[in-house]
Structure 1
């Protein structure tokens, strides 16, 4: 994945030369995925840091991780929900690049190189899409496709973007943009779920990447069928949650991100492109 020798890549308008290229951390939320992990873990790049975030699995998920990827960093999420799992994983990751990867086998780990390539060619955030040329889905239903289309159109209208796929969680980004996303902390909160702890996290991340002015590039990806076990996705209820998230984030867009210290520092350190929008690679 990273290759050998000195690798040149673009970051914030500059050309960077490093041995082997940027380091990569792959964050994998896990809850009772032992049968799927047997197929997913062997496909992960050997030189990547793998961060497995366990949500209290009652099966042998962690045993599979110990056998197939003994070098993995294993953390327990502090609350519940996919958003909290990702926040815990992001906090534990040490790579230059963070990749979000589901454990159910629906996302192909062999596409990680394409996401990293989008970032090293100048993007801050690489957003997977099933609906750009080169992408596709073997899993999406007609109802989910229509719902995703409507939510994507609404997102583009509200945030001035050009996304082709909103509800897809296969993404990658530079670790140093995390402060700009202002995600919920990962500290225990008496077991109570916070905004962004649940399924809405992917929409929250997309909206905040847009309002922070990150350079976003879409990466064509092919979604596969979940390998084993029932999906936790509920088209109507989750779609309603995404819609609510869009409206909440739209109302919050006036928080003047230009005045946020983390965003000001990021803008001053390298002259990033502040024009919202996605550009396919």
Structure 2
């Protein structure tokens, strides 16, 4: 008999009970995987998924290859849903809405995130976290894919967010995360039934800024966040849709927008000094300048 070498989501009971007074049960785990022309990568990703998952939700963004057919061949029980707009943010929002499990894990379809780490993210939730944040730069983490420029940008954005929001993130822009499904309303993502903007643009939150938006809103919502070390691998096949400068700008603007959003509940605006930066000044001035720019 051939031994199944895949990892398994441990049946460690969560803190809830299936019925009042009943026995504790293991959480049902849903895995959300956004796809766009990933037929060559799916065999690697699906083959590494742990046993014992409640469901795998594949969110397709209009693939013109055999992505959906390959997914169904590899895993007949896969839940396939279609994006309602474009962008990774919309894909995740659609995927979260389709999940029926207790916990949701978000991974990528290109092989860069290791599905065998899922059990460690779930363990973090079981141990008391409400949001398990993957980190390539915490102890035990690493990236085989990030460029020096992207790493420097990520570090700068980390410091910016940590200073503004009082958080302790070490990897703001990494998309490998897990959380209890009840956390989805806290994220307040763009409604999936809204029409796409005219001219082919994206709604705010529909792009690669989604990870930053989720991380900030979860932290601002007072949820217990635990970082989980993770190893990022290079994409197996194909080319990433990430644009370092364009998407980095959207992330920066997301940070400022989220600060302005939370500021409505504050009585005063603090004076900001950005570590590693050559400028100091009132956040209000920067926000005012930023608000004049088109989304």
Q: TM-score, normalised by structure 2?
A: 0.81
CA distance in 2, matches of 1:8, 1:241: 40
2:229 aligns with 220
Q: Secondary structure at the match of 2:237?
A: coil
Report the CA distance shift for 1:32/1:132 in structure 2 as closer, same or farther (over 3 A).
same
Distance across 1 between alignment mates of 2:46 and 2:172: 26
Distance 1:190 1:238, change over 3 A: closer
- Consecutive unaligned residues of structure 2, counting only runs of 5 or more, are 1-7, 17-21, 267-295
Alpha-carbon separation, structure 2, partners of 1:190 and 1:109: 32
Runs of 4+ residues deviating >4 angstroms:
none
Q: Is the 8 A contact 1:181 1:208 kept in 2?
A: yes
1:178 equivalent in alignment to 2:184 = yes
For 1:35, the equivalent position in structure 2 comes to: 40
In structure 2, C-alpha distance between the alignment counterparts of 1:255 and 1:120, rounded to whole Å: 34
Q: 5 Å matches for 1:104-115?
A: 104-115=110-121
Say whether the 8 Å CA contact 2:39–2:65 is kept in structure 1: yes
Residue-by-residue CA offset, 1:9-46 (whole Å, 9 max, x unaligned): 346xxxx9533x10100000000000011110111123
* Mapped partners of 1:251, 1:32: distance in 2: 37
SS of the residue corresponding to residue 75 of structure 1 reads: strand
Which residue is 1:91 aligned to? Answer: 97
Verify the 8 A CA contact 1:25 1:95 in the aligned structure 2.
Answer: yes
Give the Cα–Cα distance (whole angstroms) in 2 for the partners of residues 173 and 186 of structure 1: 20
Figure out how many residues of one structure are paired with residues of the other and give that number.
Answer: 251
- Unmatched runs of 5 consecutive residues or more in structure 1: 258-281
Q: Deviations over 1:88-146 (max 9, x none)?
A: 00000011000011100000000001100110000000000000111000011110110
Higher relative contact order (CA 8 A, sep 6+): 1
How does the TM-score come out when normalised to structure 1?
0.85
Q: Deviations over 1:52-106 (max 9, x none)?
A: 0000000010111011011010000111110000000000001100001110000
2: distance between equivalents of 1:17 and 1:159? Answer: 39
Partner Cα separation in structure 2 for residue 141 and residue 239 of structure 1: 13
1:244 paired with 2:253, answer yes
**Of 194, 211, 226, which residue of structure 2 is paired with 1:202?**
211
Q: Which residue of 2 aligns with 1:22?
A: 27
